[in-house]
Each structure stands twice: as C-alpha cells, then as structure tokens.
Amino acid sequence: MSNYLISVIIPAYNAEKTIEKCIKSISSNTVEIIVVVDGANDKTEEICKSLQKEMNNLKIIVQKNQGQFIARKSGIDNALGKYIMFLDSDDNYCENTIIEVEDLIKKYNEPDLIRFRYEKPNEYQQYTYFEKEKFIEKKDFKELVYPMFFKTYMLNALFTDCVKKDVLEKICIKQLDLRYGEDLLLNLEIFTNIKNVLFTNKILYKYITKKESITQTKDIGRLLKNLEDAIKVYSTLYEYLLKWDMQTVQNIELVNNKVIEETTRLIKIIKNINS
C-alpha cells in the first residue's frame, strides 16, 4: 500500500521487552508502521521480523546505533504517509488513537499539525492546552502558541505530534548528535514552518517511565552530554525570539529563566550522584 494517510515511526534500541506490545498498540492496518532498529544488540530485530510475517504494513529499518534523533530522520526519509506520528518503543497508543487522529484530520480539512495529550497510566494526565478543542491559524501564533515555548513545557514532546510529512521535509537541523532535548528543537522548527495547528484535549498516548531515564541514570558521562545538549537546545530559544519577532525584554527574561531552570535541574542530578 503506497497511499497511507499516516506513518508511525518507532525508534527501537534494545527494546525486546516492549516492542511487540508497542507495535500492537497501534491496532490499525490502515497506517504504515516503521520500526527503526537503532543498533540493538538484543532480540528487537528478530521480534519485529516475526511480527512482519503477519503485518504487511510493518516496515523495518536496521542501522548502526546513532540515537533517537537520527533514527526518527531515517523513518521520515522512508515514510510513505502524508502525516507522520512518533511512538517510543516502550510506550503505547490508546485503543482508538489512530481512528481519533484520522477523524480529526478529516474534520479540520487536513491541518498541518495536530497536538493531542498523553497520560502516564495510573499516575497523571498531561495538562490541557486550552479549555476546548482549538484550531489556530499562523496569524495568531504569536499570541496563543509561541509563548508556550517560553512559559511552559507544553510543546516539548514530539510523541504528541501528528504532522504533515512535507513540513518535516523542510526542516534542517544541524545538531544531529543530540541525545537530549531533540524533541524541543524539532518542535521549534515544526511550529515555525506550519500554517495552522489543531490542539485537542483527547488523551491518545500512554507514556511509560523509562528505566534509563535522565532522572534515574547514574552514568556521569551521559549526564554531562545531556547537560551539554540542554544548553545548546534551550539557548536556541533566543534565536526563535528573533525569528518570530518576539524579542521583548519580558520574553528574553522568560527564555533566560528557562535555560537556567533546565540546566540547574541537570546539574542537581549530577551533584546528587557525586554526593
């Protein structure tokens, strides 16, 4: 099938314990599923190939380990869908995620981007964007959308995006070695290049805490790399103030506070390990 409406990209590194449940949570044969096996040395590839025998919409890309950023790019380059969605290999979609997204695409006449919400099962749900479902044109981004990047973390995650592939193809990100903060960097470019966006308060993604998450790892080398990446990524917010013509003193202060807040958080984690 070459006329998919949606392609779902799943970067997978040593995901043998979760990848099958992840793939099956998509529960639709109307979408293209692309698993990018990113240098895994466990049974991830073997499990995917076994599933592929019964799923003709499952595509597998195997590459050396280069991180989630480049794995996603590989998926985008090989996707056939008009829209792209991203699913982490240890997370799941909700039961009707694809149906809900397809309905929203049709209802709003193919918006450039749809943003939905996530939940951490049995713990919490992501905060709502607006009081109700809201379609926003580019002319209103400076008032309603862009300030979210400076004031909140509401637009950081990429896994709550359903974005047109042609938008992603316009984007050129230089820091391909990023291992932390890449979602924010991509969303900054996505929101710069889209003409409209639909925000829905529907919960369509199940976020599972990673065992090797930033708050749990004790690898100092990895933490220092994350700190370096965080400084690079959050400092780019100053550039977007200029791109969006929003370089007021108030916004500069908001960005400055954001950079300090994020780097301080990472430094605190490093100090706790060394204490």
What are 60-112's pLDDT values in tens digits? 999 998 888 889 999 999 999 999 999 999 999 999 999 999 999 999 999 99
Predicted pLDDT of residue 240: 97
Do both 33 and 138 map to the same domain? yes
Q: What is the average per-residue pLDDT within 5-15? A: 96
Average pLDDT of the chain is: 92
Q: What percent of the chain has pLDDT over 90?
A: 77
Residue 51 resides in a domain:
yes
Residue 211 resides in a domain:
no
Do both 31 and 119 map to the same domain? yes
Question: Which position has the higher pLDDT, 57 or 220?
Answer: 57
Q: What is the average per-residue pLDDT within 230-250? A: 95
pLDDT confidence bin for 27, thresholds 50/70/90: confident
Do both 73 and 153 map to the same domain? yes
Distances in Å between the Cα of 164 and the Cα atoms of 11, 82, 106, 191 are 19, 6, 13, 12
Do both 129 and 198 map to the same domain? yes
Kindly tell me if the per-residue pLDDT of 194 is higher than 90.
yes
Residue 42 resides in a domain:
yes
Q: Are 160 and 116 spatial neighbours (Cβ–Cβ below 8 Å)?
A: yes
Residue 78 resides in a domain:
yes
Task: Provide the CATH number for the domain around residue 198.
Answer: 3.90.550.10
* pLDDT tens-place string over residues 202-235: 999 999 976 555 455 677 888 898 899 899 999 9
Q: Where in the sequence is the domain holding 33, given as residue range(s)?
A: 6-206
Kindly tell me if the per-residue pLDDT of 2 is higher than 70.
no
Do both 202 and 264 map to the same domain? no
What is the rounded CA–CA span in Å between residue 144 and residue 248?
Answer: 16
Residue 48 resides in a domain:
yes
In the chain, the number of structural domains is: 2
Do both 104 and 240 map to the same domain? no
Do both 101 and 227 map to the same domain? no
Domain termination residue (choose one: 178, 206, 234): 206
